[in-house]
Amino acid sequence: MMSDVIVGLERLLRDSGELVDGRRVGLVAHPASVTRDLRHALDVVVAAGGRVEALFGPEHGFGGEAQDMEAVDGGVVGPGGIPLHSLYGADEESLSPPSELIEPLDALVVDLADVGSRYYTFVWTAALCLRVCHRVGVEMILLDRPNPLGGERVEGAPQEEGFLSFVGLHPVSNRHGLTPGELVRLAAEADGTADALTVVPMQGWERRMMHGDTGQPWVLPSPNMPTADTALVYPGGCLLEATWASEGRGTTRPFELIGAPRIEGRHLAELLEAMELPGVSFRPISFSPTFQKHAGVSCGGVQLHVTDPGEFLPYRTGVALLLALADAAGDGFRWRAAPYEFVSEIPAIDLLTGSSVVRREVEAGADLEEIASSWAAGENDFIHFKRRFHLY
């Protein structure tokens, strides 16, 4: 049943305007920072009395036009003539706002929609902003939003020691079941920055709710997250970024279309169907990406069709895709060798899965059940650990 969830941004205007009224404010936002009637956070903060003196854009930019891992220029003039700064430049240092940009402010407002997967970097941008706010004595006001995958189901184990990065600054399951506010509360406790954090919680959100239950519109928070369906498959589909295979970027169905040149789609679909994955079917396809991997080249592969969102296990399905592609491609299967999110010394697949276990097991041709058993204990521990940060 659909409900009318009131997100933090809407509460700011309705009953929490005193948090920004008359104050010098910075705003970290992106295209999905909107109310249900599509009013952007910048307009809402101004309407609530905030004096917006600086804008900050996370990965993909304030306007959401940049592709993944594409550096965004800062120091430009943003909407309304307000200075616009980038929190995703050409090096790791650019991921945090400079202290001199935060110190003149009374508060930094953060409104970033998340998709419920540890690899999605917006929550980590918020955590890095909080570290700076704590250091210079400025309040960070985080406007909470739903987790479009719900707040109950968790998949995968948190990262092992030595595998933290911008796709997981703290140990968190791959599908974490937390809202942005809850996940930043977790980071704040670990970083010792909680005294600088104010979370404006939602009203009406329950942990059982997925995006379609909230009554909120879907606005793509990044160029390759066009629908809520994309968010649902992303915890597994993102793993393909760590291989030579296309994860569907450059198509109209990113993370739902998976394939590579010289892969026979029917064979790949048969391998996947044999694993009896819940809530999903695989349709053989061919596609030609318009950009990024294999641009302009015909790829054989599959489309994921989620038949039961409540039963579907996206992370398990993503690992199954790795196994099936390794089987179907044989010697043609390759892991990404290039740096990933500013890390060059650790393979991308290890950063995404949180250890070297999945990579080694895929290379050894292990059984899916055997691999899944390797993350079961960590997954269960995180289910219990995360409850201390629940707001709902």
What pLDDT shows up at residue 74?
Answer: 87
What pLDDT shows up at residue 334?
Answer: 98
- Pair 260, 300: CB distance under 8 Å: yes
Confidence band, pLDDT 50/70/90 cuts, at residue 376? very high
What pLDDT shows up at residue 224?
Answer: 97
Q: Which residues contact 324 (CB under 8 A, 6 or more apart)?
A: 268, 271, 272, 275
What pLDDT shows up at residue 2?
Answer: 61
Q: Closest Cα partner for 183 from 116, 266, 277?
A: 116
What is the C-alpha to C-alpha distance for residues 58 and 222, in angstroms, rounded to an integer?
10
**Model confidence pLDDT, tens digit, residues 283-312:** 999 999 999 999 999 999 999 999 999 999
What pLDDT shows up at residue 363?
Answer: 97
Same domain, 51 and 190: yes
Residue 278 belongs to a domain: yes
Question: Which CATH number fits the domain that encloses residue 255?
Answer: 3.90.1150.140
Question: What's the number of domains the chain is made of?
Answer: 2
What pLDDT shows up at residue 75?
Answer: 85
- Pair 256, 237: CB distance under 8 Å: yes
Q: Which residues contact 223 (CB under 8 A, 6 or more apart)?
A: 60, 64, 65, 66, 67, 68
What pLDDT shows up at residue 302?
Answer: 98
Same domain, 232 and 215: no
The whole-number average pLDDT for the span 357-380 is 97
Q: Which of 43-47, 56-60, 64-68, 146-150 has the lowest mean pLDDT?
A: 64-68
Q: Which residues contact 260 (CB under 8 A, 6 or more apart)?
A: 244, 245, 246, 294, 299, 300, 301, 325, 329, 332
The whole-number average pLDDT for the span 195-206 is 98
Same domain, 25 and 114: yes
- List Cα–Cα distances, 319 to 90, 335, 368, in angstroms: 30, 13, 8
CB atoms within 10 A of CB 209: 23
Same domain, 200 and 318: no
Q: State which residues form the domain around 47.
A: 8-219
**In a 3-state reduction of DSSP, which class is residue 29?**
strand
- Pair 110, 129: CB distance under 8 Å: yes
**Model confidence pLDDT, tens digit, residues 321-345:** 999 999 999 999 999 999 999 999 9
What pLDDT shows up at residue 1?
Answer: 53
**Model confidence pLDDT, tens digit, residues 125-145:** 999 999 999 999 999 999 999
- Pair 151, 379: CB distance under 8 Å: no
Helix axes 265-273, 314-329, angle to 10 degrees: 130
The whole-number average pLDDT for the span 104-116 is 98
Structure tokens at 211: 């995006």
**Final residue of a structural domain among 166, 187, 219:** 219
**Final residue of a structural domain among 194, 219, 244:** 219
Same domain, 32 and 169: yes
The whole-number average pLDDT for the span 116-122 is 98
What is the C-alpha to C-alpha distance for residues 101 and 346, in angstroms, rounded to an integer?
32
Structure tokens at 49: 């009395």
Provide the β-strand partners of residue 83: 77
Question: Which CATH number fits the domain that encloses residue 78?
Answer: 3.40.50.12170
- List Cα–Cα distances, 90 to 62, 69, 72, in angstroms: 16, 9, 8
The whole-number average pLDDT for the span 157-171 is 98
- Pair 342, 92: CB distance under 8 Å: yes
Q: Which of 64-73, 152-161, 337-346 has the lowest mean pLDDT?
A: 64-73
The whole-number average pLDDT for the span 87-108 is 97
Residue 379 belongs to a domain: no
Q: Which residues contact 281 (CB under 8 A, 6 or more apart)?
A: 273, 304, 305, 307
What pLDDT shows up at residue 46?
Answer: 97
The whole-number average pLDDT for the span 26-42 is 98
The whole-number average pLDDT for the span 52-65 is 96
- Pair 305, 273: CB distance under 8 Å: no
Q: Which pTM does this prediction carry?
A: 0.97
What is the C-alpha to C-alpha distance for residues 105 and 107, in angstroms, rounded to an integer?
5
Same domain, 340 and 317: yes
Question: What mean pLDDT is reported for the chain?
Answer: 97
Residue 48 belongs to a domain: yes
What is the C-alpha to C-alpha distance for residues 386 and 392, in angstroms, rounded to an integer?
12
Same domain, 236 and 214: no
